[in-house]
Amino acid sequence: MARSHPHPQSIARAPAQRAGLLELVRNSPGLPVFVPGGPPATPFPGPGTASWMNPAYALHHAESWGSPFVLGVMLPLEAAAHPGERAGSNLLARYRSVIGELADAPLPLVAQVWGPMTMAATLVGLDTYVESLAGGSEAFSFTNRGLDATLTVAEAALEARPLVLWIAEPLAMLADPGALAAVWLPVMRRLLANARAAGADSVIHVSGAASHTLHAVNRTGASGMSITADTPLATTREMLPEHVVVFGNLDSMRLMDRSEEWLREQGRIMAEEMRGRPFVATPGSAISERIPVSRLAAFVEGTRNG
C-alpha cells in the first residue's frame, strides 16, 4: 500500500523573512558558483573526511569555492527507491542526520532528492518504464510509485528547512513533451507544493539534451533549472522566464581533458553569455574525484573574471 504523505499545508512554514533563491542570486556581489560534487580535495586544507556524508567537509567544500550555498548528501538510487526497507531505512536515517547538522551551517542548504520518474525507473526497470511512457496505461501507476518514494525522502529533507529542494530527474530527457505534460507534470506539481509549504524553493536537474523539457519544467513552477552541456545556455535564456534561475552547464568531462587556460576562458564565455540574467555557473553534473583541483579552480576563476 502506498504510504500517505501530509498535505502541503500540514507542514510548518519556514520564517517568511528568509530570502529565496532568486533574491540570493540577484544580490550576489559576483556571479555565484556552485560545485555540485567532488573532487575530494579542495583548494584549502579542511577538516574531516572528504565525504558528502560528513557535514563538516560538505561545508568546507562549499566555502572553499565561495559557494552561496552548501550541498547536502544524496541517497543512492536503490536506497532512495526503497526507503522503507532495512538498508534503505538505515541510509535514510543517516541522510536525515547529515541534513539536520547542515541545517545549522552558516550557508543556506541545498537538499537533494531523486525525482519521481527516476525513482519509477529504478523500481520497475528502465526499459519497462520507458516503454510505458510511449503510451502504456501503466505509466501513471509507475510514476506515482516513484513519487511516493521521492516524497518519503523529501519529507526528511524538508525537516531541515533547506533553501532549495534539488530534484535530480535525469530520466525526464527520455520522455517526449506529451508524456511530460500528462504523466510528469502532475506529480512534480505535488512535490513542489510540498517544498513551497515548507518554505523551500525547488530546482529541477535534467541531464543530457533536455531542451524539449524546458516548457514542462517552467510549468511546474520551479524556481530554477539545472542543465548539462547538451542543453545550450542560449536556449534556456530564450525559453525560461527571467525569474527561473539557470544552473549550468560546463561539460564536467572537459575538466579531465582540457587545459586550465581553456577552462578559464570557457568560464568567462559562460558568464558573458548569461550576463544580466539570474544564473549560477556550475559543472553540469557531479565531478569525478580524479579531476585535478587546479582545473576546477581555473573554471571558477574564469566565471568570476568574465
Average pLDDT, the chain: 89
User: 222, 215 in Cβ contact below 8 A?
Assistant: no
User: 156, 95 in Cβ contact below 8 A?
Assistant: yes
- Confidence label for 291 from pLDDT (cuts 50, 70 and 90): confident
Average pLDDT of the residues in 118-135: 95
**pTM (2 decimals)?**
0.91
Residue 16: pLDDT over 70: no
**pLDDT for the residue 50:** 80
**pLDDT for the residue 220:** 97
**pLDDT for the residue 306:** 63
Query: What DSSP line would sit under 179-213, residue for residue?
Result: HIIIIIHHHHHHHHHHHHHTT-EEEEEE-SS-GGG
117, exposed or middle or buried, with CB in 10 Å at 0-12, 13-18, 19+? buried
Residue 214: pLDDT over 50: yes
Average pLDDT of the residues in 172-200: 96
Using alpha carbons, list the distances in angstroms from residue 187 to 78, 90, 165, 174, 286: 20, 26, 15, 17, 25
Cell output for 272? 558573458
CA distance 64 to 12: 33
Find the angle CA(278)-CA(279)-CA(281) to the nearest 5 degrees.
165
Average pLDDT of the residues in 107-118: 96
- Confidence label for 100 from pLDDT (cuts 50, 70 and 90): very high
* pLDDT, tens only, 241-264: 999 999 999 998 899 899 999 999
Using alpha carbons, list the distances in angstroms from residue 120 to 140, 252, 265: 10, 27, 40
User: 303, 54 in Cβ contact below 8 A?
Assistant: no
CA distance 240 to 215: 8
Average pLDDT of the residues in 2-12: 34
- Confidence label for 88 from pLDDT (cuts 50, 70 and 90): confident
Nearest CA to 227 out of 65, 239, 219 is that of 239
Question: Of the CATH numbers 3.30.830.10, 3.30.565.10, 3.20.20.210, 3.30.1490.20, which one belongs to the domain with range 17-304?
Answer: 3.20.20.210
**pLDDT for the residue 1:** 35
Segment among 117-131, 142-156, 292-306 with least mean pLDDT: 292-306
User: 105, 59 in Cβ contact below 8 A?
Assistant: yes
